[in-house]
Amino acid sequence: MKKLLFSFLLFPFLLQAQENEETQEIPKDAMHNKGFFNLTKISYTKITSMEEDLSVAGVGDITNDLETDGTNAFALQTINGYFLSPYISLGVGVGLEGFISPTINTFPAYADVRVYLENDYSSPFIFADYGTLMKIGDEFRRGNMFAVGAGYKFFVGKEKRTSLVTDLSFSGRNISMTDASFKDSDRTFTTRGISLGIGVIF
Protein backbone atom coordinates (compact mmCIF):
# COMPACT_ATOMS: atom_id res chain seq x y z
CA MET A 1 0.00 0.00 0.00
CA LYS A 2 2.85 2.40 0.84
CA LYS A 3 4.51 1.71 -2.53
CA LEU A 4 1.20 2.41 -4.30
CA LEU A 5 0.72 5.75 -2.53
CA PHE A 6 4.33 6.78 -3.23
CA SER A 7 4.06 5.91 -6.93
CA PHE A 8 0.69 7.68 -7.22
CA LEU A 9 2.02 10.96 -5.82
CA LEU A 10 5.38 10.78 -7.60
CA PHE A 11 3.92 10.15 -11.08
CA PRO A 12 3.06 13.78 -12.02
CA PHE A 13 6.50 15.03 -10.96
CA LEU A 14 8.24 12.43 -13.13
CA LEU A 15 5.97 13.22 -16.08
CA GLN A 16 6.58 16.96 -15.74
CA ALA A 17 10.37 16.46 -15.57
CA GLN A 18 10.29 14.42 -18.78
CA GLU A 19 8.24 17.08 -20.60
CA ASN A 20 10.60 19.84 -19.51
CA GLU A 21 13.49 17.92 -21.09
CA GLU A 22 11.63 17.31 -24.35
CA THR A 23 9.96 20.70 -24.92
CA GLN A 24 10.88 24.34 -24.74
CA GLU A 25 9.22 26.72 -22.34
CA ILE A 26 5.77 27.73 -23.59
CA PRO A 27 4.08 30.97 -22.49
CA LYS A 28 1.53 30.47 -19.75
CA ASP A 29 -2.08 30.02 -20.78
CA ALA A 30 -4.01 32.89 -19.21
CA MET A 31 -7.21 30.82 -19.30
CA HIS A 32 -5.96 28.49 -16.56
CA ASN A 33 -6.04 29.48 -12.86
CA LYS A 34 -8.34 32.28 -13.95
CA GLY A 35 -12.11 32.59 -14.13
CA PHE A 36 -14.51 29.65 -14.09
CA PHE A 37 -13.43 26.01 -14.25
CA ASN A 38 -14.73 22.46 -13.98
CA LEU A 39 -12.86 19.67 -12.23
CA THR A 40 -14.17 16.15 -12.84
CA LYS A 41 -12.50 13.31 -10.97
CA ILE A 42 -12.79 9.71 -9.84
CA SER A 43 -11.64 8.56 -6.43
CA TYR A 44 -11.10 5.46 -4.34
CA THR A 45 -11.40 5.45 -0.56
CA LYS A 46 -10.03 2.79 1.75
CA ILE A 47 -12.13 2.88 4.91
CA THR A 48 -9.86 2.70 7.96
CA SER A 49 -12.52 2.92 10.69
CA MET A 50 -16.28 2.52 10.90
CA GLU A 51 -18.77 2.78 13.75
CA GLU A 52 -22.45 1.86 13.85
CA ASP A 53 -24.62 3.90 16.22
CA LEU A 54 -28.18 2.74 16.88
CA SER A 55 -30.52 5.03 18.78
CA VAL A 56 -33.90 3.50 19.73
CA ALA A 57 -36.68 5.36 21.51
CA GLY A 58 -37.18 3.91 24.99
CA VAL A 59 -34.03 1.78 24.78
CA GLY A 60 -31.10 4.15 24.36
CA ASP A 61 -27.95 4.31 22.28
CA ILE A 62 -25.86 1.33 21.15
CA THR A 63 -22.45 1.77 19.51
CA ASN A 64 -20.53 -0.94 17.66
CA ASP A 65 -17.08 -0.81 16.08
CA LEU A 66 -17.27 -2.58 12.72
CA GLU A 67 -14.57 -4.49 10.86
CA THR A 68 -13.26 -2.63 7.81
CA ASP A 69 -11.70 -5.53 5.88
CA GLY A 70 -13.11 -5.21 2.36
CA THR A 71 -14.81 -1.89 3.15
CA ASN A 72 -14.11 0.78 0.57
CA ALA A 73 -15.83 3.34 -1.62
CA PHE A 74 -15.68 4.57 -5.20
CA ALA A 75 -16.86 8.00 -6.32
CA LEU A 76 -17.39 10.16 -9.38
CA GLN A 77 -17.39 13.87 -8.58
CA THR A 78 -17.57 17.13 -10.48
CA ILE A 79 -16.70 20.57 -9.11
CA ASN A 80 -17.67 23.87 -10.72
CA GLY A 81 -15.68 26.76 -9.35
CA TYR A 82 -14.07 30.14 -9.80
CA PHE A 83 -10.50 31.34 -9.29
CA LEU A 84 -10.52 34.34 -6.95
CA SER A 85 -6.83 34.65 -7.81
CA PRO A 86 -4.26 32.35 -9.43
CA TYR A 87 -3.71 30.91 -5.95
CA ILE A 88 -7.23 30.47 -4.49
CA SER A 89 -10.39 28.90 -5.90
CA LEU A 90 -13.88 28.33 -4.51
CA GLY A 91 -16.27 25.75 -5.91
CA VAL A 92 -19.40 23.66 -5.45
CA GLY A 93 -19.18 19.93 -5.99
CA VAL A 94 -21.67 17.09 -6.46
CA GLY A 95 -21.08 13.40 -6.99
CA LEU A 96 -22.16 9.79 -6.78
CA GLU A 97 -20.51 7.59 -4.17
CA GLY A 98 -20.89 3.87 -3.54
CA PHE A 99 -19.72 2.00 -0.44
CA ILE A 100 -18.94 -1.71 -0.49
CA SER A 101 -19.46 -3.86 2.66
CA PRO A 102 -21.83 -2.47 3.77
CA THR A 103 -23.53 -1.44 0.53
CA ILE A 104 -24.56 2.22 0.79
CA ASN A 105 -25.04 4.74 -2.03
CA THR A 106 -24.77 8.45 -1.31
CA PHE A 107 -25.02 11.71 -3.25
CA PRO A 108 -22.54 14.29 -1.84
CA ALA A 109 -23.07 18.03 -2.36
CA TYR A 110 -20.32 20.19 -0.90
CA ALA A 111 -18.24 23.37 -0.91
CA ASP A 112 -14.65 23.11 -2.16
CA VAL A 113 -11.74 25.44 -1.29
CA ARG A 114 -8.31 25.08 -2.95
CA VAL A 115 -5.07 26.94 -2.34
CA TYR A 116 -2.34 26.62 -5.01
CA LEU A 117 1.23 27.20 -3.92
CA GLU A 118 2.51 28.39 -7.31
CA ASN A 119 1.12 30.34 -10.27
CA ASP A 120 2.47 27.99 -12.92
CA TYR A 121 1.56 25.05 -15.15
CA SER A 122 2.40 22.67 -12.34
CA SER A 123 1.66 23.41 -8.72
CA PRO A 124 1.10 21.62 -5.42
CA PHE A 125 -2.16 22.54 -3.71
CA ILE A 126 -4.11 21.92 -0.53
CA PHE A 127 -7.88 21.64 -0.35
CA ALA A 128 -10.84 21.21 1.98
CA ASP A 129 -14.37 19.97 1.27
CA TYR A 130 -17.43 20.08 3.51
CA GLY A 131 -21.05 19.38 2.73
CA THR A 132 -24.11 17.20 2.98
CA LEU A 133 -25.16 13.77 1.72
CA MET A 134 -28.45 14.15 -0.12
CA LYS A 135 -31.23 11.57 0.02
CA ILE A 136 -31.35 9.27 -3.05
CA GLY A 137 -32.93 6.07 -1.68
CA ASP A 138 -35.73 4.81 0.56
CA GLU A 139 -33.39 3.73 3.38
CA PHE A 140 -30.99 6.66 3.33
CA ARG A 141 -32.10 9.62 5.46
CA ARG A 142 -29.35 12.23 5.60
CA GLY A 143 -25.67 12.71 6.26
CA ASN A 144 -22.64 14.95 6.03
CA MET A 145 -19.12 14.68 4.70
CA PHE A 146 -15.69 16.27 4.85
CA ALA A 147 -12.28 15.86 3.25
CA VAL A 148 -8.92 17.57 3.75
CA GLY A 149 -5.90 16.84 1.62
CA ALA A 150 -3.16 17.84 -0.76
CA GLY A 151 -2.45 17.24 -4.41
CA TYR A 152 -0.61 18.25 -7.53
CA LYS A 153 -1.85 19.96 -10.70
CA PHE A 154 0.08 19.40 -13.93
CA PHE A 155 -0.35 19.70 -17.69
CA VAL A 156 0.21 16.94 -20.23
CA GLY A 157 1.10 17.19 -23.91
CA LYS A 158 3.50 19.47 -25.73
CA GLU A 159 0.90 22.22 -26.12
CA LYS A 160 -0.09 21.97 -22.45
CA ARG A 161 -3.82 22.14 -23.10
CA THR A 162 -4.91 19.35 -20.75
CA SER A 163 -4.58 19.83 -17.02
CA LEU A 164 -4.70 16.85 -14.65
CA VAL A 165 -4.80 16.67 -10.87
CA THR A 166 -3.90 13.93 -8.42
CA ASP A 167 -4.72 14.15 -4.73
CA LEU A 168 -4.48 12.31 -1.43
CA SER A 169 -6.90 13.13 1.39
CA PHE A 170 -8.36 12.12 4.74
CA SER A 171 -12.14 11.93 4.49
CA GLY A 172 -15.12 11.12 6.65
CA ARG A 173 -18.84 10.45 6.35
CA ASN A 174 -21.76 10.38 8.80
CA ILE A 175 -24.56 8.39 7.15
CA SER A 176 -27.97 8.16 8.84
CA MET A 177 -30.18 5.25 7.79
CA THR A 178 -33.61 3.87 8.65
CA ASP A 179 -33.86 0.47 10.32
CA ALA A 180 -36.96 -1.59 9.59
CA SER A 181 -36.39 -3.72 12.71
CA PHE A 182 -37.09 -0.83 15.09
CA LYS A 183 -39.77 1.84 15.19
CA ASP A 184 -38.59 5.40 15.81
CA SER A 185 -34.94 4.40 15.47
CA ASP A 186 -31.92 6.08 13.95
CA ARG A 187 -29.07 3.97 12.61
CA THR A 188 -25.92 5.92 11.75
CA PHE A 189 -22.64 4.83 10.18
CA THR A 190 -19.56 6.97 10.84
CA THR A 191 -16.63 6.29 8.52
CA ARG A 192 -13.08 7.58 8.21
CA GLY A 193 -10.68 6.73 5.42
CA ILE A 194 -7.83 7.61 3.06
CA SER A 195 -8.84 8.69 -0.45
CA LEU A 196 -6.92 8.75 -3.73
CA GLY A 197 -8.23 10.83 -6.62
CA ILE A 198 -7.35 11.73 -10.20
CA GLY A 199 -9.18 14.20 -12.38
CA VAL A 200 -9.21 16.62 -15.31
CA ILE A 201 -9.60 20.41 -15.15
CA PHE A 202 -11.61 22.00 -17.98
Structural domains of the chain, ranges and CATH numbers in brackets: 2-22+39-201 (2.40.160)
- Is the pLDDT reported for residue 40 higher than 90? yes
What pLDDT does 184 receive?
Answer: 64
- Look at residue 22 in the predicted model and tell me its pLDDT: 47
Q: Convert the pLDDT of each residue in 104-147 to its tens digit.
A: 888 999 999 999 999 888 899 999 999 999 877 666 778 999 99
Q: How deeply is 141 buried, as exposed, middle or buried, from its count of CB atoms within 10 A (0-12, 13-18, 19+)?
A: middle
Q: Which of 61-70, 135-144, 176-185 comes out lowest in average pLDDT?
A: 176-185
pLDDT confidence of residue 79: 98
Least confident interval from 20-29, 122-131, 151-160: 20-29
DSSP 8-class letter at 161:
-
Please state which of the ranges 17-26, 111-120, 176-185 shows the lowest mean pLDDT. Answer: 17-26
> Which string of DSSP letters, residue by residue, matches 59-108?
TEEEEEEEP-TT-EEEEEEEEEEEEEETTEEEEEEEEEEEEETTTEEEEE
Cis upstream peptide for 27 (omega within 30°): no
The CA-CA-CA angle for residues 136, 142, 145, to 5°, reads: 100
Better-predicted residue by pLDDT, 93 or 1? 93
For residue 199, pLDDT over 90 is answered with yes
Residues in the chain: 202
